[in-house]
Structure 1
Amino acid sequence: MRFIGIKEIEDISVGAALLGTGGGGDPYIGKLMAIQAIEENGPIKLLSVEEIDDNDLIVPTGMMGAPTVMVEKTPNGDEAITTFKTLEDFLGKKIIATMPIEAGGINSMLPLALAAKMKLPVVDVDGMGRAFPELQMTTFYLNGVQASPMVIADEKGNVALLNTIDNIWAERIARTATIQMGGSVMMAIYPMKGMELKKSGIHNTLQLEEEIGRSIRLAKDGNYDPIEKVLSLTKGVLLFKGKVADIDRKTETGFTRGTAKIEGLHENKDETLQLFFQNEHLLAKTDERVLCMTPDLIAVLDAETGSPITTEGLRYGARCVVIGMPADKKWRTEKGIETCGPRYFGYDMDYISLEELQEQAKGAL
């Protein structure tokens, strides 16, 4: 057990944006909310998974909706508290701790803000090890944990409690409601016992995010390459160097969808990389080969500072580096690939791991 303060929040927000693979919402807004909550209520207690009891009720929180909506539709801070109190009333049981549902942008920050306000500890675990666009795309789902009963709430005061027959229906109904509620909501979801969380969660995510953020922050003073350090921490691979030549981005059916074209520089000169995203980056390919695909992680970093760039933050002319990172082994199972592999998102290809794609590239040289 340890406590998280403002300095830790700054570092975690950067690491969360990177592991969020372009999605999960802009961490800046969530960072400000978490910092304000800590200033008003004191630091947050961070627990390891081993420190929670098997029968404790743990509930993840986060934002559902299109990341682009967050630019104009900022949470007022009370929605998450409303969802937790509504869920507690329905279950007739006290929530002992919260946690991020995903390792992504604002969704790694919002649980920290809620924890400070409600004096709850945060468990160092999440349900993705990255960010994904749909509610059933969690390792909890892979392990048979139900997403509902779940509660969503908007900034206007609307609250909906959903009790669905399965997690796919939870996504469908909640997504429709989210669109009607303005494109983004706060949620309390996947209520589970400590024993379920220990088996199905991805451990030490916040610690990794903090290490990534700290390494990027200290790179200049430490006189080292922040991108190389990030690759070391995440077991990642440098995929492409270039500058953003075109970006096609739109919000539809509750998601931010689009493609980005990156013109190659340096060793990638005369090549063009295409990135395909649905909130998060899902596929990176050139005309000749695929470089990385979901569920493995794809992130875009500023070429000079190593700072992560979200899908809504991609701008024409930005010089960047694209990296790939291997997904947690839970995602590389048959059910994991069926849930969030390339075919689920409509790409006509079977999943090939980042490591295998790298070997194929070496063989082609």
Structure 2
Amino acid sequence: MSWTLTEADLPDLARGAAVLGTGGGGDPYVGRLLVREAIREHGPITILDPSEVDDDALVIPTAQMGAPTVVHEKLPNGAEPVLALRTLEQHLGRTADATMPIECGGINSMIPLIVGARLGLPVVDADGMGRAFPELQMETFGVYGVTGSPMAIGGERGETTVIDTGADNKRMEWLARGVTIRLGGVAHIAEYAMSGAEVKRTAVPQTLSLALTVGRTIREARSANEDPIDRLASALRSTPYEHLRVLFRGKVSDVERRTEAGFARGRAAAVSFDGSSKLEILFQNENLLATVDGSVRCLVPDLICVLESATAEPITTETLRYGQRVTVVGISTPPLMRTPEALDTFGPGAFGLPHDFVPVEEIG
């Protein structure tokens, strides 16, 4: 059922999107401010359930591309994703009936909302990652047969580029990454144009609703002086993200982070409060692998989320700092993201990790 997103929803949505972003996806706070201004100027946004999208409708997802660390220094003005959408519409010779996130985590949960508010377009309550991933070919859309090309890129100075690599989504990512780097490390895109029927077949459904639920659950638990992580685990049990496991509690002891080839790459370490155990997380924009004392506890595509221990506020990879007191949780992904085809595209092997995927709920 469709629903209306208002300015009052944005703090909860941003918090939930940061959790689902698994450390990456860009800072949703920046996106929240841009959506707030767009709503104030143009009014609330209609969110469509995938089941309500006409099969022959044209849906064009919109997003931001680049290293999350760059966004703190290179803030978007909100016009760039609209430019990307209009450029792709012109190339296709057809106007979009709706837009949609490519990922539900971080700032990319917000970019389509900016487009929706500015253009009066509905936004589909679904996405192609069910979390955040660093590369454009890592989409359930592509896994299940939708091509990312042609895609359009819009820059802050009005630059536009259309890239068409046919069915080769990985090459599309490689070329788009090069353009993004030359635009200063961040750009805005429109890609994976598809029909409403393809949305229903390939997208992870109700993920904007999920982000809102996650953010609201954490806030309400704190207001009630309840454990927000326990409340979040209870809330997730009735969703496709049904398993939440606490992986580690401790203090951040080291962070190594670098911006390289358009990505924020690095590792973070933490020690338990009693000093007896050590956690290590590897990330490429998003958290990919969590080990405790050398043993794997959670790995991609399941979610590895670093939360501030006292408040359960999510901590992104670019804001990790020495001394932070953290609780690290693993959250299971939906079955759509765990098929052999999906794991070939965004499982551990896609990131060069020497581990087979094991669901977080099955790791002892």
Same structural fold, with TM-score higher than 0.5 when normalized by the shorter chain: yes
**Which digits, 9 at most, give the CA deviation of each residue in 1:128-167, with x for residues without a partner?**
1100000010100111100011101111221101111311
Match of 1:154 in 2: 155
- What SS class does the counterpart of residue 38 from structure 2 fall into? helix
What is residue 284 of structure 2 aligned with on the other side? Answer: 278
1:151–1:188 Cα contact (<8 Å) kept: yes
User: Which residue is equivalent to 1:179?
Assistant: 181
Q: Is the 2:142–2:169 Cα contact (8 Å) retained in structure 1? A: yes
Confirm or deny: 8 A CA contact 2:152 2:161 kept in the other structure: yes
Letter in 1 for 2:276: D
For structure 1, the residue ranges without an aligned partner over 5 or more in a row are: none
Q: Do 2:22 and 2:131's aligned partners in 1 also have CA atoms closer than 8 Å? A: yes
- 1:144 & 1:340 partners in 2: Cα distance? 15
Unaligned runs of 5+ in 2: 237-242
Q: Which amino acid aligns with 1:325?
A: I
SS in 2 for 1:307: coil
Cα deviations across residues 205-253 of structure 1 (Å, max 9, x unaligned)? 0111111111111223222111111222332111100111000000001
Q: 2: CA distance between counterparts of 1:221 and 1:282? A: 32
Separation of aligned partners in 2, 1:280 and 1:80? 22
Q: Distance in 2 between matches of 1:65 and 1:288?
A: 31
Q: Which runs of 4+ in 1 moved over 6 A?
A: none
Matches of 1:171 and 1:220 in 2, distance apart? 40
Over the aligned positions, Cα root-mean-square deviation in angstroms equals: 1.0
Shift of 1:50: 1.1
Q: Which residue is equivalent to 1:287?
A: 293
Q: In structure 2, what is the equivalent of residue 198 of structure 1?
A: 200
Give the whole-Å Cα distance in 2 for the aligned partners of 1:290 and 1:265: 20
Q: Which amino acid aligns with 1:71?
A: H
| One-letter amino acid of the counterpart of residue 210, structure 1 | L
Q: Which amino acid aligns with 1:129?
A: G
Q: CA deviation at 1:108?
A: 0.3
Deviations 1:178-220 (A, max 9, x none): 1111111000010000000001001110111111111111223
Which of 324, 334, 354 is residue 328 of structure 1 equivalent to?
Answer: 334
Distance in structure 2 (CA, Å) of the matches to 1:344 and 1:60:
23
Q: Distance in 2 between matches of 1:355 and 1:215?
A: 22
The structural deviation recorded for 1:274 is 0.2
Shift of 1:287: 2.6
Structure 2 match to 1:262: 270
User: 2:53, 2:213 → 1: CA distance?
Assistant: 23
**CA drift at 1:92:** 1.0
State the partner residue of 2:239. Answer: none
CA drift of 1:77 comes to 1.3
Structure 1 length as normaliser, TM-score? 0.96
1:207-356 equivalences under 5 Å are: 207-234=209-236, 235-265=243-273, 269-356=275-362
Matched letter for residue 177 of structure 2: R
Q: Residues 217 and 235 of structure 2 are in contact (CA less than 8 Å); yes or no, is this contact kept in structure 1?
A: no
Q: Give, in angstroms, the shift of residue 286 of structure 1.
A: 2.0
- The offset of 1:88, in angstroms, is 1.0
Letter in 2 for 1:50: S
1:135 matched to 2:141? The reply is no
1:82, distance to aligned residue in structure 2 (A): 0.9
- Give the conservation status (yes or no) of the 8 Å contact 2:151–2:192: yes
Superposed CA deviations along residues 65-106 of structure 1, whole A, max 9, x for unmatched, are 100000001112111111111111111111011111101110
What TM-score, normalized by structure 2, do the two folds share?
0.96
* CA–CA separation in structure 2 for the residues paired with 1:352 and 1:109: 31
SS of alignment partner, residue 146 of structure 1: coil
Shift of 1:26: 0.4
Corresponding residue pairs, total? 356
* 1:116-127 → structure 2 map (5 Å cutoff): 116-127=117-128
Which AA in structure 1 matches 2:264?
T
State the alpha-carbon separation in 2 of the partners of residues 223 and 76 from structure 1. 38
The SS at the match of 1:351 is coil
Overall identity of the aligned pairs, in %? 48
Letter in 2 for 1:249: R
Query: Does the 8 A contact of 1:231 with 1:238 survive in 2?
Result: no
Q: CA deviation at 1:110?
A: 1.2
CA drift at 1:288: 3.8
Partner Cα distance (1:216, 1:257) in 2: 28
Contact 1:272/1:287 (CA < 8 Å) preserved in 2? yes
Separation of aligned partners in 2, 1:78 and 1:221: 37
1:305 counterpart letter in structure 2? T
Once residues 276 and 321 of structure 2 are traced to their aligned partners in structure 1, the CA distance between those partners, rounded to angstroms, is: 20
Distance, in Å, in 2 between the alignment partners of 1:14 and 1:80 is 22
